[in-house]
Amino acid sequence: MRRRFLIIRLGAIGDIVVTTTLLHGLRATWPDAHIGWLVDSRLAGMLEGVDALDRIHRWDRVGWARSLGPLRLRELGVALAALRAELRAEAYTTVLDAQGLLKSSALALLAGAPQRWVLRPREGASILAHHAVPARERIRPGDEYRDLLRALGAHGADGARMGLQASARATESARALVSRLQRSDGFVALCPFTTRPQKHWFDDRWADLTRILAACGLRCVIMGGPQDRVRAESIRDASVPGTVSIAGEAPLEISGALLALAHLTVGVDTGLTHWSMAHRVPTVALLGSALPYTTAFDGSIVLRQPMACSPCDRRPTCSGRFDCMRALGTERVAQAALTLLGQPARA
């Protein structure tokens, strides 16, 4: 019987990128399987160019949240019934809840599949699944998904890597943007922004990095979302002339496609940095307060300073000094970047 898998990973950007490890491991093991993915509709564009995926199901999180008011419960019921019908029409045999939260496990129930697996269950999510794969220490990006693949009996588990190709449309737009920026001969993508201040590096260091890289003939493009625009422009203004910012200019899918065109990426623990790695673009990842992994695959470098307080995740105890990130000096980051590009180390 043809296997029919439904992956549930609703968000966030970086987690979706890394969850593609699971998708590719499934595809390598069961080439004829039907594989669907349930994702937050606002992030569905990320998956539109992925050949290994047969179907994208969109969860309208914002619409569902709006419908939670007492006068709109009927709307929620209609949306729920529609999603349930859409999922059941695919007759999934196995649901893989890669999010591990109560909401994702509840959505997993809608598919009506005979087998439900949950990865790293929290909030009591394991109650709603037949099988749970617990958390363990992660060393390389995607280790938890390789654990799930092994539990499923997938022979392609060990070789599974994340990979998130952009759609042809997004790639075309990214090429046009790179051409407009006059960076068709290559550039370094800088990804300084994320949601938690303790994960950030420092604005003056980003600017200093552009100066060091410019001295080696490398020009930088600062990336980010609309909420990062002001800070990105501030970094750009302090940077070497020729540095540009596209923060807030490109939709997410085009930013992802643009990363595939970069010579190199330097970024903090944020979705775009993981996306760059998924493209196999040489990437320097600056980690500290969170450790989603400690070692990158060949071709990328994880820089971090081991500290007694790290990882602190959402509870920093350093009174806003962020010593773990401060310990990553600009010269060290630049050396890592130049090493990846095969350029001579600086004296």
- Residue 323 lies near ligand SF4 (rule: CB under 6 A): yes
Of residues 54 and 323, the one with the C-beta less far from ligand SF4: 323
Of residues 79 and 312, the one with the C-beta less far from ligand SF4: 312
Instruction: Using the CB atoms, write b or e for 283-301: b if 16+ within 10 Å.
Output: bbbbbbbbbbbeebeeebb
Q: Which stretch binds ligand SF4 (CB under 6 A): 81-89, 150-158, 200-208, 322-330?
A: 322-330
Q: Are strands 188-191 and 220-222 parallel, antiparallel or unpaired?
A: parallel
51 three-class SS:
coil
Long-range Cβ pairs for the range 22-25 (8 Å, 24+): 22/96, 22/98, 22/142, 22/145, 22/148, 22/149, 22/160, 23/50, 23/52, 23/53, 24/52, 24/156, 24/160, 24/161, 24/162, 24/163, 25/145, 25/146, 25/149, 25/154, 25/156, 25/157, 25/159, 25/160
- Residue 309 lies near ligand SF4 (rule: CB under 6 A): yes
Of residues 201 and 275, the one with the C-beta less far from ligand SF4: 201
Task: Spell out, one character per residue from 190 to 229, where the chain touches ligand SF4: x when CB under 6 A holds, - when not.
Answer: --------x-------------------------------
- Residue 104 lies near ligand SF4 (rule: CB under 6 A): no
Q: Which stretch binds ligand SF4 (CB under 6 A): 1-9, 35-43, 279-287, 307-315?
A: 307-315
Closest CA to 167 of 53, 57, 31: 53
Rounded alpha-carbon distances, angstroms, from residue 154 to 20, 45, 330? 15, 28, 42
Angstrom distance (rounded) from CA 295 to CA 3: 33
Of residues 181 and 318, the one with the C-beta less far from ligand SF4: 318
Q: Which of 44, 102, 109, 312 binds ligand SF4 (CB under 6 A)?
A: 312
Task: Spell out, one character per residue from 269 to 298, where the chain touches ligand SF4: x when CB under 6 A holds, - when not.
Answer: -------------------xx---------
Of residues 183 and 199, the one with the C-beta less far from ligand SF4: 199
Angstrom distance (rounded) from CA 181 to CA 189: 13
CB 313 to ligand SF4: min, Å? 8
CB 142 to ligand SF4: min, Å? 23
Task: Spell out, one character per residue from 232 to 271, where the chain touches ligand SF4: x when CB under 6 A holds, - when not.
Answer: ----------------------------------------
What number of CA atoms fall less than 13 Å from residue 18's CA on the CB side? 24
Contacting residues toward ligand SF4, per CB under 6 A: 198, 288-289, 307, 309-312, 316-318, 322-324
